[in-house]
Amino acid sequence: MSFVPYREKVRQSEGTKNGVNHGKSAAKQCLVFCAAEPMEHCALCGRETDVPRLQNIWLRSGYVEGCGQLCPDCRRALDAAGKK
């Protein structure tokens, strides 16, 4: 019995190859996901933000590359910790 990472098991069970579901287009999958959850959630505290999921990251306030979207409170706390 060989070791299969959990992520790969999920992909296999969903009928995907390399994380891409070939039954639906990637754009359609994104739109379905974004329609169900239209607003971003904070990467640190999990609260819903006022930023739409489909908004370009270059136009967002509080987006941290490599981390994700932050709510205003977490962004202020992060900025304050960085200034110390």
Q: Tell me, letter by letter, the H, E, C secondary structure of the chain.
A: CCCCCHHHHHHHHCCCECCECCCCCHHHHHHHHHHHCCEEECCCCCCEEEEECCCCHHHCCCEECCCEECCHHHHHHHHHHHHC
Report residue 82's pLDDT band, with 50, 70 and 90 as the boundaries.
Answer: confident
Q: Write down the domain spans for the chain.
A: 1-36, 38-84
* Each residue's pLDDT tens digit, 39-80: 999 999 999 999 998 899 999 999 999 989 999 999 999 889
**pTM of the entire structure?**
0.57
Whole-number pLDDT of residue 74:
93
Main-chain dihedrals φ then ψ at residue 55, nearest 5 degrees: -75, 135
